[in-house]
């Protein structure tokens, strides 16, 4: 078992990473006392992993709340139902919630933990790659409302993260690949050496070799811990985690969240952001091509599709909630492994970068 500490003063917590941790009582024991536990999961993950967790927590007072699957479930109704369950059971303040599932379960469970009695303990047990390398660490919790995604939420750090890398093997392959985009993002913004490592281990990553999985989760969590440790509430440097996301969100919004998984849109967005960094003269030429080659080898998309117009994407970017005081903020690169926040890219620069990243093959 690998352990990484997230250094946030009295809100610090460990992230435990390894194969088979969900079924291991020793992985849970330091984080659960004798108080009641409520496991929050969904109907896809429950049959796969709930029995193992219940086995590891044998002897504890455990209840389960199972949601339907899907991003649309990260909503008021499920938050209300979960809070209702806590209220009906007179759940005491020392109750521990456990989020067993991907980022959707983690965000909703975390938000319920943040809001019940002004905040109770919760443990993240992420079962997707995206949740293990990103969503479970950092304390952002949220639900979606009809007006937009993640508009209602709170910062609330978990008491521990238990990331069982064996769970990644049952993921739909597309979900796994989408998570790899976020992994590569850490290389692009934090550590050029990690880009080299990913490039050298593409076959191991495609084969989901246990050591390769543990390595990418550990390194990604370390990078995220560094950034979050320096800026817990996203007042500054934490913004660099949005590399590729402004373009990615524009693609997701434009296609009604139907065509791309988040990580796939981010993958395209990273190539566009690196291309813009190069054309603005901020970054030496070559990295955009290299990121695109790595992503292609990992089975991720890399081009802006021929049927989407660049001005439409630009329009979506103007509404991005990360813009401040009307200024458009983009995360660009000044070197491999080094991100900068930019407010000076003109519309024409952005349009040119989007068009430079068009699929050469119109069918792509």
Minimum CB–partner distance for residue 189 and ligand NAD (Å): 15
Minimum CB–partner distance for residue 289 and ligand NAD (Å): 27
Q: Does 170 bind ligand NAD (CB under 6 A)?
A: yes
Beta-strand ranges (E) seen in the chain are 2-6, 13-18, 37-42, 62-67, 96-101, 121-126, 140-145, 148-155, 160-164, 330-335, 338-342
Contact positions with ligand NAD (CB under 6 A) in 27-56 = 42, 44-45, 48
* Burial label, 38 (beta-carbon count in 10 A; 0-12, 13-18, 19+): buried
If the CB atoms of residues 12 and 170 are measured against ligand NAD, the closer one turns out to be 170
Count of beta carbons in the 10 Å neighbourhood of residue 285? 12
Minimum CB–partner distance for residue 230 and ligand NAD (Å): 16
Q: Is 234 known to be catalytic?
A: yes
Question: Cβ distance 321 to 329 under 8 Å?
Answer: no
Q: Which stretch binds ligand NAD (CB under 6 A): 170-178, 247-255, 300-308, 316-324?
A: 170-178
Q: What values do phi and psi take at 237, rounded to 5?
A: -60, -25
Question: Cβ distance 310 to 354 under 8 Å?
Answer: yes
Strand partners, 163: 17
Minimum CB–partner distance for residue 349 and ligand NAD (Å): 28
Catalytic member of 16, 31, 121, 224: 224
Q: Is 238 known to be catalytic?
A: yes
Q: Which are the contacts of 119, defined by CB distance < 8 A and separation ≥ 6?
A: 113, 156
Q: Is 144 known to be catalytic?
A: no
Compose the 96-135 pattern: x for residues touching ligand NAD by CB under 6 A, - for all others.
Answer: -----xxxxx-x-------------------xx-xx--xx
In sequence order, what DSSP letters do the residues of 13-40 get, joined into one string? EEEEEETTGGG-HHHHGGG--SS-EEEE
Q: Max alpha carbon distance in the chain (Å)?
A: 63
* Distance in angstroms between the alpha carbons of the first and the last residue of the chain: 41
Q: Does 171 bind ligand NAD (CB under 6 A)?
A: yes
If the CB atoms of residues 45 and 302 are measured against ligand NAD, the closer one turns out to be 45
Catalytic member of 245, 252, 264, 278: 245
If the CB atoms of residues 171 and 354 are measured against ligand NAD, the closer one turns out to be 171
Catalytic member of 182, 215, 232, 252: 182
If the CB atoms of residues 69 and 226 are measured against ligand NAD, the closer one turns out to be 69
Strand partners, 1: none
- The residue of the chain with the least Cβ separation from ligand NAD equals 103
Which parts of this chain interact with ligand NAD (CB under 6 A)?
42, 44-45, 48, 69, 71, 74, 101-105, 107, 127-128, 130-131, 134-135, 138, 140, 150, 167, 170-171, 175
């Amino acid at each position: 078992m690998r352990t990484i500490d997230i250094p946030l003063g009295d809100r610090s917590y460990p992230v435990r990473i390894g194969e088979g941790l969900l079924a291991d009582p020793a992985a849970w024991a330091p984080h659960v006392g004798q108080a009641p536990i409520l496991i929050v999961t969904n109907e896809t993950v429950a049959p796969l992993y709930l029995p193992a967790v219940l086995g590891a927590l044998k002897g504890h007072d455990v209840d389960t709340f199972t949601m339907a699957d899907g991003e649309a479930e990260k909503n008021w109704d499920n938050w209300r139902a979960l809070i209702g369950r806590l209220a009906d059971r007179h759940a005491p303040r020392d109750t521990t919630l456990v989020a067993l599932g991907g980022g959707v379960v983690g965000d909703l469970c975390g938000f319920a933990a943040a809001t019940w009695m002004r905040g109770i303990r919760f443990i993240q047990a992420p079962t997707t790659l995206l949740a293990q390398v990103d969503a479970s660490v950092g304390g952002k919790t949220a639900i979606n409302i009809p007006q937009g995604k993640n508009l209602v939420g709170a910062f609330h750090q978990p008491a521990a993260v238990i990331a069982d890398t064996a769970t990644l093997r049952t993921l739909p392959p597309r979900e796994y690949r989408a998570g790899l985009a976020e992994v590569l993002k850490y290389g692009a913004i934090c550590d050029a050496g990690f880009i080299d490592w990913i490039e050298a281990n593409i076959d191991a990553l495609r084969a989901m070799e246990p050591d390769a999985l543990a390595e990418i989760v550990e390194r990604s969590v370390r990078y995220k811990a560094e950034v979050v440790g320096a800026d817990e509430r996203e007042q500054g440097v934490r913004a660099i985690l949005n590399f590729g996301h402004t373009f990615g969100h524009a693609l997701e919004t434009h296609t009604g969240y139907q065509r791309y998984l988040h990580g796939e849109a981010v993958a395209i967005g990273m190539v566009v952001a690196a291309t813009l960094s190069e054309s603005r003269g901020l970054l030496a030429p070559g990295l955009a091509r290299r990121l695109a080659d790595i992503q292609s080898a990992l089975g991720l998309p890399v081009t802006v599709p021929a049927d989407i117009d660049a001005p439409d994407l630009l329009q979506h970017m103007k509404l991005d909630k990360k813009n401040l005081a009307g200024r458009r903020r983009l995360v660009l690169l000044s070197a491999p492994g080094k991100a900068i926040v930019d407010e000076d890219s003109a519309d024409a620069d952005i349009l040119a970068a989007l068009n430079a990243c068009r699929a050469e093959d119109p069918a792509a």
